[in-house]
Structure 1
């Protein structure tokens, strides 16, 4: 299983705080273009981000749901994509040394036609997108830590 990974010069708690900010989701998740609503209890299990996916003028409205949370170390999401299905996304944060957190991201098709694609092929489909998403997240984390 291919895992996207990035290390940032902040504690696991600070990295997770940015990761868990639902209003920032479209800033770092490749493809998400607009956040319409974030449930008040986000990122509690079952809470949702309501967003649009795609490029204007072709935008699809859908949700991402928190399935598991173990702050500041793990966040599991189910990202839905209209009638195409959904993906299970696992994000882990590990403090490798004081003030240096590594964030890892794994994605698997959970429902829909993409589930029929073998795991290694899914890795190839998701790898570049997930790495770009984590690179964007790392930039947000660095910017927020400089402004605090």
Structure 2
């Protein structure tokens, strides 16, 4: 399993607010290029984001489904991109003196990528997930700053 982490200078509620907005998924998940639809109730267990993965015109249309959620604390997803496969992705939010420590785990659960050794999966996934957390941080801190400045 590959794990990356990052401290985001926003409270867990602000970070989770970005995760809970399925329309923002392509804004922070590296590789997701277009959101076609978000199920009502996202991020309830079983709800889906219908997305495209990869660059146009060779993108793959697939979906990501919520497998577990604890609002404000964690989100578990199965991200699909057939024929490549699918991966279990976990995001955990921990209060931190500077905001929120976000831990992101990922491992391939189906498809051709599953036969890759863990070290090779990590070599491929770690840089991608590090960038995903950087993008999540930008969205969460920006949104949090706007919310704070609009309060009387």
**TM-score between the two structures when normalised by the length of structure 1:** 0.94
User: What displacement does 1:77 show?
Assistant: 0.3
Distance 1:119 1:20 in 2: 29
Distance 1:8 1:43 in 2: 21
Distance 1:116 1:82 in 2: 15
**TM-score between the two structures when normalised by the length of structure 2:** 0.92
Q: How many residues align?
A: 147
Distance 1:83 1:58 in 2: 12
Structure 1: where are the runs of 5+ without partners?
A: none
Residue 62 of structure 2 corresponds to which residue in structure 1? 62
User: What displacement does 1:58 show?
Assistant: 1.4
Residues 1:79 and 2:79 are matched in the alignment: yes
Kindly report structure 1 stretches of 4+ aligned residues shifted beyond 3 Å: none
Distance 2:120 2:111 in 1: 15
Residues 1:95 and 2:95 are matched in the alignment: yes
User: What displacement does 1:83 show?
Assistant: 2.2
Distance 1:40 1:48 in 2: 9
Residue 142 of structure 2 corresponds to which residue in structure 1? 143
Summarize the Cα distance change of 1:2–1:52 in structure 2 as closer, same or farther, 3 Å threshold: closer
* Matching of residues 1-148 of structure 1 within 5 Å: 1-97=1-97, 100-148=99-147
